[in-house]
């Protein structure tokens, strides 16, 4: 992963779980996060720096227990690096603006991209379309 861009990285607003996931590259247990089954429309932003990362229109039920998206909001929203933890080879994704760990991307998603961005709810904040406020 390249060096994160210079975005405010004040971490004082993060819960211990948000810190563990975004700063220590942790993973929340499946089916426990706030957004794995959320059907509201809106934009999913990085919990650290508030950059938009995913749109609800790109979210789908992958059956994995984590919020899953077939593409980010823009091609430049995320950066990736190889992850060889847990004796497997995966591609880890981070917010391109601040470097916060989001989750992983796998090549088993739906068309049109064939990708599954498997993201931790703890790394996101949903801004619903109907209210304009953060949840």
Catalytic residue among 46, 95, 98, 118, which? 118
d(C-alpha 104, C-alpha 102), whole Å: 7
49 is catalytic: no
Adjacent-strand bridge partners of 16: none
Q: Which residues of 34-69 are buried (b: 16+ CB within 10 A; e: fewer)?
A: ebbebeeebbbbbbbbbbbbbbbebbeebeebbbbb
DSSP symbol at 113? T
Collapsing DSSP to helix, strand or coil, 112 comes out as: coil
Which amino acids are annotated catalytic?
118
């Amino acid at each position: 992963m390249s060096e994160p861009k210079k975005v405010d990285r004040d971490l004082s607003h993060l819960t211990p779980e948000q810190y563990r996931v975004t700063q220590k590259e942790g993973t929340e247990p499946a089916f426990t996060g706030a957004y794995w089954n959320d059907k509201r429309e809106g934009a999913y932003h990085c919990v650290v720096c508030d950059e938009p990362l995913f749109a609800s229109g790109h979210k789908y039920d992958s059956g994995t227990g984590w919020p899953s998206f077939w593409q980010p909001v823009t091609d430049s929203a995320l950066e990736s690096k190889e992850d060889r933890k847990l004796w497997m080879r995966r591609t880890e994704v981070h917010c391109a603006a601040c470097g916060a760990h989001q989750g992983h991307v796998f090549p088993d998603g739906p068309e049109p991209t064939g990708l599954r961005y498997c993201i931790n709810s703890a790394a996101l904040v949903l801004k619903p379309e109907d209210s304009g406020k953060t949840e």
